[in-house]
Amino acid sequence: MKSLSYLGVQVAILAMASALSAWAGPGAHGPNGEHLDQATSPTAGGLARLPDGSVNVPKLAQRRMELRTQLAPESEAAATIQLPGRVVADPNASGQVQATHGGRVEPGPRGLPMPGQAVKQGEVLVWVRHHAEPFALAAQQSQRAELKAARDLAEQRLRRLESLEGTVPRKDIDAARIDVQSLTEREQRIAASLDAREPLRAPVSGVIARADVKAGQIVDTREVLIEIVDPARLMVEASTPDVSLGSRLGAAHLAGLEGVKLQLVGAARSLRDGMLPLNFRASVAAGAAPLAVGQPVTLVAALKERRKGIVLPASAVVRSPANEPIVWIKTRAERFMPQPVQVQPLDAGTVLVTQGLAADNRVLVQGAALVAQIR
């Protein structure tokens, strides 16, 4: 009986302690010095993902994580649209090097060109030594032999007439001299054609973007061997199925690439594979990441019409486990609630929230990615 009464006393003491912790006033302490007015945190730092999806972040942790919030007033901003595109060369500042006749590649004065090498307009990049078919080569060689024999006879006749100068008419000597000169020139041209090589020159000044040449390589007629572009004069070609979009576009930039400004050159007047090409001239600022011809990009263009919404930093929008865009709303001093939203990018650093937020919501604009990682 004593053991049962002792057990009952212990249970009563525990019940009273739990009741005191539940109804303790501010600053109340337990027998071991613990604060009875604070609920026990599930983790050591008080960081926890609650069953309703919200996150508990104590004030001390907020300061360590440098969390910042701001009210989200509704405003107007230019509507934007995302378009797929790719970087292309400016046709007025680029060129291709091709051979007009087939032949064998030989290095130029500076050796074989390499991608990234700077060249000047008119510079000889490579030589192409022409090759002829065996029958055509034999015909040229026989013609050269005939011309050589005819030239030897003409020279002998000229020497004989010159030795009889004064007894033969002067016009005969001049005619023989012209005949020798004509035969000599024809022979030289035939000899040059047997060992001719074509210089391939740079059509524009710039940087070699692609070079598919090797020493001894056999190339065909009109084969593109070298491509040259001016890295300071590149363009971006976007495409859209909306044929009226070109007249409604304003400023544009590239998503994820800072320091690149785009200026609309114009929209095509014919569809290509069911899409309307839009051409933009790209201006890359100093220190920005360079662009490469053929690089796929995402173009964010502002429309001339304006749309109502809430402008937020792009860092405020993160992805949920379901891969949908969300922002974190501060509902209490230490409580943050995830809120699905619909957004449109405005530029590289800001977005426009069109649905999901109210004007009086306090949105987490710094450290949202850290809060999203709390489990």
Predicted confidence pLDDT, tens digits, the chain (375 residues): 444 344 344 434 434 444 434 333 444 444 444 443 444 444 445 788 898 889 999 999 999 999 999 888 888 787 788 899 999 999 999 999 998 888 889 999 999 999 999 999 999 999 998 776 666 666 766 777 888 888 888 888 888 888 888 788 888 888 888 988 888 888 787 776 666 788 999 999 999 999 999 998 989 888 899 999 998 899 999 999 988 888 888 888 888 888 888 988 988 889 988 899 999 999 888 878 889 999 999 998 888 777 888 889 888 999 988 889 999 999 988 999 999 999 888 776 788 898 888 888 899 999 999 999 888
Classify residue 255 by its DSSP letter.
T
Residues pairing with 55 in the sheet: 49, 336
> What is residue 135's predicted lDDT score, i.e. its pLDDT?
62
Based on the number of CB atoms within 10 Å of its own CB, is 317 exposed (0-12), middle (13-18) or buried (19 or more)? buried
> What is residue 336's predicted lDDT score, i.e. its pLDDT?
94
The two beta strands, 350-355 and 296-313, are antiparallel
- The residues, ordered by sequence, that sit 6+ positions from 235 with a Cβ below 8 Å of its Cβ are 87, 88, 89, 90, 265, 279, 280, 281, 282
> What is residue 228's predicted lDDT score, i.e. its pLDDT?
95
Structural domains in the chain, CATH included, are 68-88+232-372 (2.40.420.20), 94-228 (2.40.50.100)
The CA distances from residue 348 to 5, 227, 344, in Å, are 73, 32, 11
pLDDT digits (tens, 9 = 90+) for 49-108: 898 889 999 999 999 999 999 888 888 787 788 899 999 999 999 999 998 888 889 999
> What is residue 13's predicted lDDT score, i.e. its pLDDT?
43
Nearest to 127 by CA among 165, 145, 100: 100
Q: Report the distance separating Cα 239 and Cα 241, nearest Å.
A: 7
Based on the number of CB atoms within 10 Å of its own CB, is 245 exposed (0-12), middle (13-18) or buried (19 or more)? middle
Half-sphere exposure of 198 (CA within 13 A, CB side): 16
Degrees, nearest 5: CA angle 52-317-311 = 120
